[in-house]
Amino acid sequence: MISEERKNALHKIEKEIGVTFSDISLLNTALTHSSFANESGGDETHNERMEFLGDSALSFIVASYLYEKYKKTPEGKLTAFRSGIVCSKSLASAAKDLGIGEALRFGHGEEAHGGKNKQSNLEDAFEAVLGAIYLDKGIDVARDFVLRVFKEELTEKNHLKPIEDFKSQFLEIIQREKGHEFEFILTDESGPPHDKDFFVAVELDGKIVGRGEGKSKKAAEQMAAREAIKKLKI
C-alpha cells in the first residue's frame, strides 16, 4: 500500500517527467533503491530489474534516432554520439534536473551517505524510470520522453560527445581498423548491495588491455577504457 504522502511525491515526479502513470506502483518501484528494499524485509521491490530494461530501451531509442537523423554518419561516429547521451554523467544530470533523486527511497545507511546525490544512483534511477514508462505506456511514450529530455544533445552534434568519455574514445581507436574484437567483462564485485564496488576488464582480441574499478559497472568500464587507451598502439 502506497501512503498518501508517497503518492504526492510520485505525482510530483509525474509532472516533472510529463507522464501520468496508469499504474503508479511502477513509478514507485523505479524510485526504490535496493537498500530500502533490503531493510523492508522483502516487502518492497527495488528498481534494478527496471534499470536493466530502461538501459536497453534508452540505447535503442537513441540509436534509432541518430540512425535516422544522421544518415551519412559512419557507424563508429554514431556509436560515439550514442555514448555521449547514455553516459553516466548525462543520465545523472537529467535525473537531478527532473527531481528524481529527491524522490528516491533509500535504506538508512545509503541515505546517511548521501545516496540521493550519488551519480551512480541517479543514473540507475533515470534508467529505471524509463523502464517504468515503457512498461506502463509503451515504446512510443518512452521515446517521446527520451527525445524531450535530451532534445538539445540530440539536435546539436557538439553536445553528443562528452569530455573524458573514455569508452567512446576507446571504441573510436579500435574501429579505425576492421577485424578487432573487444569485450568489457565484469570480473568481480564486492561490498553490500547498497554500496558495491565493481571491477571490469576490457579484452581486445583475446588479451586484457585495461582494468577499472567503480561504484557502477559503467564507471568501472570507463576506467578500464582509460587504462586501455594508454596501452593501445593500434
β-bridge partners, 204: 182, 207
Active site residue 55: yes
Q: Is 156 helix (H, G, I), strand (E, B) or coil?
A: coil
- Active-site choice (51, 110, 123, 127): 127
- Active-site choice (51, 55, 153, 221): 55
Spatial strand order of the sheet with 197-204 comes to 182-190, 197-204, 207-214
| Orientation angle between helical segments 88-97 and 217-231, nearest 10 degrees | 150
Can you tell me the distance from the alpha carbon of 145 to that of 1, in angstroms, rounded to the nearest whole number?
A: 28
Active site residue 127: yes
CB 194 within 8 A of CB 202: no
Let me know the angle formed at the C-alpha of 8 by 98 and 28, rounded to the nearest 5 degrees.
70
Question: Which H, E and C letters describe 69-98, residue by residue?
Answer: HCCCCCHHHHHHHHHHHHCHHHHHHHHHHC
**Selection from 204, 208, 206, 209 nearest residue 182 by Cα:** 204
The catalytic residue positions are 55, 127
